[in-house]
Amino acid sequence: MRGAAPLGSLGVACGAAAAVLLPVVTANQALLSWAFLVLLYTALAQSWNLLGGFGGQVNLGHAAFFGLGALVTRMVWLGGAPVVLALAAGTGAATAAGVLIGAPSLRLRGPYFAIGTLAIAEILRITTGNVLPDVSSLPARDLAGYALTPRYYLAVFAAAVVTGGAWWLTRSRFGRGLAAVREDETAAEAIGVGAFRHKLGAFALSSGFAGMTGGIFAYYHVSFYPAFVFSPVWTFDPLVIVYLGGVGTVWGPLAGAVFFVVVQEALSLQVGEPHLLVFGLLFLVVVIAAPGGLVEALRAVRPGARAPAHMGSPPAA
């Protein structure tokens, strides 16, 4: 047991070093592209996990904040601003939207909150499709100078920051308050924890990180329709990843994203047409065999390791 913590820290350090050095040791664009997607999905899934896993609020409108961040970043960046400024604008817009949408919607509970947020995301998707119907492609001159490596490092940064945010939640006073609200809101209020304040804080944090991730996607993707970034896949893919990896855990979204991206891509390349069927079956097998997620499964095959960093039971979804 005593050796588990240093071993874990060593693993994190090795993983971080590998992520940083990957573009140095390989120029394989496919590999970098896969790694980029793993990191992007890690950041997005973890941003959902902050509210859904740690806060117990199942947000089915996460795509709204990913989309807002993507759209604002894309418009500001293609308007001529530096990408860092554009990303800040996208993140800020998504955070502000999180506060504005969270304030009324967090008055709802359980399935009503879930359906309410889903409706908001769909309204944004349809409105964006109506107002901005044209495809957003990078001009040919920009494509000539396109480089994946800076985009990759932004994804490394996002995954690290959002995972760091989750780690902070497991140790901070705010995080413990959020866990108390998740377990029993009435009891939390009774002992002096402001339930609404904690939920709104988590919502804003989750939305802001989703917006930042969306902004990085907008900087990465060469061509997409504005409505696409509000598509429900940007809600349900991270949700699946979180449940695959482990709800309310720090490392679950990373494990889930690796499985989700790498297994899907590998099956697509190796199995051909029935790849989605095979992935679905594999997903079912993993969920049945490891109901606590891949992090839990990893702990099971590594006797002596301590329990994964998470906070209590996952929300009912």
Partner 1 sequence: MRTLVVAIAVVCLLAGSPVTPYAGAQPAAIKLGAVIPLTGRYGGGGAQVQVGYQFAVDDLNARGGVPVGGRRLPLALTVLDDQSDPTKTVSQFEVLAAQGATVFLGGFGSDLHAAAAAVAEKSKIPYCGAAFALHAVHEQGFKYLFSPFEKSPELGNETYRFLNASIPAGQRPTRVAIFQERTDWGRELGNIWTARSREYGYQVVLRAEYTPLSRDLSDIILRAKSAGADAVFALPTPPDGITLIRQMKELDFSPKLIIIIRAADAVSWSQALGKDGDGVLLMPGWHHSVRFPGVAELNAKHQRRFGRPADVLVGPAYACVQIVANAIQRAGTLDHAAIRDAIAATNTTTVVGPVRFRPDGTGIVPTVIVQWQSGQQQMVWPRDLGGVPLVYPLPAWRAR
- State the residues that interact with partner 1 by CB under 8 A: 28-31, 33-34, 37, 126, 129-130, 133-135, 137-141, 143-144, 146, 217, 221-225, 228, 233, 259, 262-263, 265-270, 272-273, 275-276, 282, 285-286, 289-290, 296-297, 300-301
Other beta carbons within 10 Å of 273: 7
Q: Give min distance, CB of 158 to partner 1, in A.
A: 16
Residue type, 88: A
The residue (of 79 and 139) whose beta carbon lies closer to partner 1 is 139
Q: Are 222 and 146 in contact (CB under 8 A)?
A: yes
- If the CB atoms of residues 24 and 289 are measured against partner 1, the closer one turns out to be 289
Give min distance, CB of 286 to partner 1, in A. Answer: 6
The least CB distance from residue 47 to partner 1, in Å, is 17
Identity of the residue, 99 or 138, whose beta carbon is nearer to partner 1 in the bound complex: 138
Residue closer to partner 1 (CB basis): 140 or 316:
140
Q: How far is the CB of 229 from partner 1 (least distance, A)?
A: 10
Which residues have CB under 8 Å from 121's CB, separation 6+? 60, 61, 62, 63, 64, 67, 230, 232, 235
Structure tokens at 115: 């359906």
Contact 104, 246 (CB under 8 A): no
The residue among 58 and 227 lying less far from partner 1, judged by its C-beta, is: 227
3-state SS assignment for residue 257: helix
Q: Kindly provide the residue ranges of all beta strands, DSSP E only, lying in 135-233, ordered along the sequence.
A: 136-137, 223-224
Tokens linked to 218 = 């907008």
Helix/strand/coil for 144: helix
3-state secondary structure of 196: helix
- What the block records as the tokens of 268 is 């697509």
CB of 211 to partner 1, least distance (A): 17
By beta-carbon proximity to partner 1, the closer residue of 151 and 182 is 151
Task: Supply the minimum distance, in Å, between the C-beta of residue 103 and partner 1.
Answer: 29
